[in-house]
Structure 1
Amino acid sequence: MVFIIRFKIMNVKKNSRIRRATKFRKNLQKFNNIRLLIHRTSRHIYAQIISKDNKILVTASTLEKKIRKKLKYTGNIKASILIGIKIAKRSIKKGILSVSFDRSGFKYHGRIKALANSARNTGLNF
């Protein structure tokens, strides 16, 4: 019985995150901007810059071998700071200087905040 209650709570939590993300993306489509999309799991963090027509322009994640070698653990703030720096450098190299920040419904704290601040400090505007 306890397992069923916990499972329902987890589904509600995930569903509310997805609802927040879709609501934000609908508003973003009105402005037709390039967006910096973030996704996080307990073990990894992913960042993508997506164009107006939903094509991936630049990516960075903790799954890359070069980044994984630099880190002891890939699911912490140190890893997200490194990903923020990488995504900003790669996007500036491609000529993308301004994006909209899409946090995929995750709360703006911890690893998401660290990634955003490091990308801003490297030169990406949002």
Structure 2
Amino acid sequence: MKINTKQTRIHKHKRVRKKVQGTSTKPRLCVFRSNKHIYAQIIDDMQGTTLVATSSLNLNNQEFDKIGPNCDTSRIVGKQLAEKSINEGIINVVFDRGGKLYHGRVKALAEAAKAAGMGF
């Protein structure tokens, strides 16, 4: 039987989402990692709105070309997200890893957000 990695990730994400729910007092920090970029957004699931969002696409092209899609980029995105969310008054969030392992770029983003003042 052939294993489809995309379907496996979607299945894992659905399993995580059964337990992880964002509220207005503690919204959900959702991370999506592609091969080239990383995206993060803070979502209020009760109202269905995105409160804060950022990604590696927001970096200027020279900076991204120099660094590339690695943990350093994820740390920059995590720090940007934490700064934006603290300006909006969002400090505590629930972390949603999006079906990916808490390792590498996902972990780097999460730890940079924690270091910048967000609480999980």
Q: TM-score range by the shorter chain?
A: 0.7 to 0.9
For 1:1-126, what aligned pairs fall within 5 Å after superposition?
8-9=2-3, 11=4, 13-29=5-21, 32=23, 33-52=26-45, 53-66=47-60, 68-71=61-64, 72-126=66-120
- Normalized per residue, the structure richer in helix is 1
Query: What is the rounded CA distance, in whole Å, between the counterparts of 1:92 and 1:74 in structure 2?
Result: 27
Normalised TM-score (structure 1): 0.84
Give 3-state SS (helix, strand or coil) of 2:12's partner: helix
Give 3-state SS (helix, strand or coil) of 1:75's partner: coil
Q: Is the 8 A contact 1:41 1:75 kept in 2?
A: no
Give 3-state SS (helix, strand or coil) of 2:32's partner: strand
Structure 2 runs not aligned, ≥5 long: none
Q: Which runs of 4+ in 1 moved over 2 A?
A: 68-71
Structure 1 runs not aligned, ≥5 long: none
Q: Give the CA RMSD over aligned residues.
A: 1.7
User: Larger relative CO (CA 8 A, sep 6+): 1 or 2?
Assistant: 2
Distance 1:28-1:74 versus aligned 2 partners, 3 A rule = same
Query: What is the rounded CA distance, in whole Å, between the counterparts of 2:55 and 2:100 in structure 1?
Result: 17
Larger radius of gyration: 1
Identity %: 41
Q: How many residues align?
A: 116
User: C-alpha deviations, 1:14-70, integer Å up to 9, x for none?
Assistant: 2121111111112123x744100000111000000001322111011011254x442
Letter in 2 for 1:51: D
Query: What is the rounded CA distance, in whole Å, between the counterparts of 1:95 and 1:74 in structure 2?
Result: 31
Normalised TM-score (structure 2): 0.88
Q: Is the 8 A contact 1:62 1:74 kept in 2?
A: no
